[in-house]
Amino acid sequence: MKQAQFVADRQARWDQYRELLKALRRRRGKDTVKADFPSQYRRLCNDLALARSRGYSLKLINQLQQWVMEGHALLYKPQASLVERIVEFFRRDFPRQVRSEWRLGALCSLLLFGPMIWLFHHIGTTPEFVYRVLSPDAIINYEQMYAQPAGNRSADDQFFMFAFYIMNNIGVALRTFAGGLLFGVGSAVILLFNGVFIGAVAAHLSFEGYFENFWTFVIGHGAFELPAIVLAGVAGFRMGISLIIPGPYRRLEALRLGAREAVSLLYGVMAMLLLAAGLEAFWSASNAPASVKYVVGAILWLAVFAYFLLAGRDTRTESRHAD
Amino acid sequence: MPPIDSTYPVETPDGVDLDIHPAGPVPRAAAWMVDLLVRSGIMIMLIFILSGFNAVGFAMLVLAWFLINWWYPVLFEVLGNGATPGKRAFDIRVIHDDGTPVGWGPSVVRNLLRQVDFLPLLYMTGLISMLCNRRFQRLGDLAAGTVVIHGDNRRITLPELPPGETRHPPIPLKPDEQQAVLSFAERIRSLNPARAEELANLLEPVTGQTGPEAVDELLTWARWMRGQAT
């Protein structure tokens, strides 16, 4: 068949197809018409293959290919309900994934909490060691921050701090993740650095008479914040480890799979940090009595651990999906 | 025959190949600059608007900075058909390397890993990575499985050939040879006569002619191939 005849025969159908593309992009049109789209698209694929094998002109082939590409983009768009996916993620997938990464979780906990515990011990016995970690200015600054019990911030200030905590903490988490691409080294460095820094501040304030002001402030939101930073490290390491030990895959493929797992962990991390920022700004900084803050803090820590240990263990939903 | 440019084919589930044209460092750097300007513009505008609202205004400003700094490219890529405003300006966009539109996960990965690509300064790592693979992927693209391609906003119209005689070629041509002749004929209006003759002269052994006659000869074949009415 000659090209001109080929084009003439199909022109009407192609025009129809392009109308359909337009309607689908604008999310208009009757469902019956939309149902026709896949078959229309596949006929166009057929036309493209024919045009190629018959050596029709490149312009025609490029034009057909462009239309196929537009259809391809519409047809193969992921379309699960976002709400359903989010609910399933927090109910089941996120805690499961965290449990399955318990080895990396232990490693990252060690990197963050190890220096904290060591510094707590060390500064407890030799208080002047804190000056080798923090500058005198920073120490004075922190002492002033915790000189008064929390609770004298205005609502405006609380809101500002909320925004600040979001930016700062999620920024730290995202950097911890990205650093994992450097074979995990970046994540390790950020975790260690934070462990040393937080440990030094906490130890110094605890032993210099700011114990209650400090701990009543941090215990609540810490339940979400510290595990979230550990998990950001896990996400980074997941990526770095997949480069170092690709298993049965090519390194690049392993990296891609690792990054996919890591980013889903990261969604959970960001949600936890949003919660933590809310708690830190509006609860930790509130003037609730110390005893209440300790109790609530303990409950939050227990809740976080219970969530990661227990959530998503039922197999009922799986059997329902496995058909 | 492997393509002589950086184009690579992706096979769809429907059994046809799509040709992907990866975009190189230059348009991408330019797009990044435009995005930088857009982002700074938004931020400066917000500073003017929100600074009138004291603490709440500052809070919004901090949140806006967080969003623009980390999520600007992700939001535009996923919701805007793979293109940030800068990318749109240079007609490039992000897709998965299998040709499907970019999703949340890969977009988040490629944009968070910008941090690493940027090291030690101005995307040096990313540039080296792009020059080391055929699809111009920076590290973030490699990890996310994405590729930045030239868009398809080019208007393609099927040109009419100048009218004239129709004759079949003296020997049967293979599809790619046929295509070469057709491409030549369809571009004839944009070639200057000397260049057209120069190209047509290459086929002297087949056409048996040189100069303007050779060009005319090829056009008559092209009309026959297209089946265009005379």
- SS (HEC) of B67-126: HHHHHHHHHHHHHCCCCCHHHHHCCEEEEECCCCECCHHHHHHHHHCHHHHHCCCCCHHH
Instruction: Determine the distance from the C-alpha atom of residue A272 to the mean position of all C-alpha atoms in its chain, rounded to a whole number.
Output: 9
Note whether B135 and B185 are same-domain residues.
Answer: no
Mean pLDDT of chain A: 86
Cα distance between residue A233 and residue A114, in whole Å: 14
Note whether B47 and B98 are same-domain residues.
Answer: yes
Note whether A39 and A88 are same-domain residues.
Answer: no
- Which of A167, A177, A252 is facing B142, going by the closest CB pair? A252
Note whether B74 and B126 are same-domain residues.
Answer: yes
Note whether B27 and B138 are same-domain residues.
Answer: yes
Contacts of B106 in chain A (CB under 8 A): 260
Note whether A70 and A99 are same-domain residues.
Answer: no
Contacts of A59 in chain B (CB under 8 A): 156-159, 183, 186
- Which of B65, B144, B226 is facing A4, going by the closest CB pair? B226
Determine the distance in angstroms separating the CA of A108 from the nearest CA of chain B, rounded to an integer: 20
CB burial string A11-27: b at 16+ within 10 A, e below: eeebeebeebbeebeee
CB contact under 8 A, B139 and A77: no
Given a cut of 50, the residues of chain A with pLDDT beneath it are 318-323
Q: What is the pLDDT of residue B37?
A: 95
- Structural domain that includes position B68: 8-150
Note whether B185 and B127 are same-domain residues.
Answer: no
Q: What is the pLDDT of residues A89-122, one digit of tens each?
A: 888 889 999 999 999 999 999 999 999 999 988 8
Domains contained in chain B, number: 2
CB B23 within 8 A of CB B135: no
CB contact under 8 A, B99 and A69: yes
Cis upstream peptide for B169 (omega within 30°): no
- Structural domain that includes position A31: 10-75
Mutate which of B1, B17, B104, B112 to test chain A, going by most A C-beta atoms within 10 A?
B112
CB contact under 8 A, B116 and A57: no
Cα distance between residue B28 and residue B93, in whole Å: 9
CB contact under 8 A, A167 and B62: yes
Note whether A166 and A221 are same-domain residues.
Answer: yes
Question: Is residue A318 included in any domain, yes or no?
Answer: no
Residues 120-159 (A) with a CB less than 8 A from some CB of B: 154, 156-157, 159
Domains contained in chain A, number: 2
Contacts of B144 in chain A (CB under 8 A): 256, 259
A90 DSSP assignment: I
Q: What is the pLDDT of residue A322?
A: 38
Distances (CA, A) of A117 to A109, A171, B70: 11, 25, 33
pTM for this predicted structure? 0.74
CB contact under 8 A, A256 and B143: yes
Question: Is residue B167 included in any domain, yes or no?
Answer: no
Note whether A163 and A64 are same-domain residues.
Answer: no
Question: Is residue B162 included in any domain, yes or no?
Answer: no
Note whether B108 and B186 are same-domain residues.
Answer: no
Q: What is the pLDDT of residue A28?
A: 65
Note whether B94 and B196 are same-domain residues.
Answer: no
Note whether B145 and B181 are same-domain residues.
Answer: no
Question: Is residue B86 included in any domain, yes or no?
Answer: yes
Reported ipTM: 0.70
* H-run or E-run covering A46: helix A37-53
Determine the distance in angstroms separating the CA of A247 from the nearest CA of chain B, rounded to an integer: 16
Contacts of A157 in chain B (CB under 8 A): 55
Mutate which of B67, B109, B146, B155 to test chain A, going by most A C-beta atoms within 10 A?
B109
Chosen domain end from A58, A75, A92? A75
Note whether B104 and B203 are same-domain residues.
Answer: no
Residue of higher predicted confidence among B128 and A55: B128
Say which range, A40-54, B72-86, B143-157, B188-202, has the weakest mean pLDDT.
B143-157
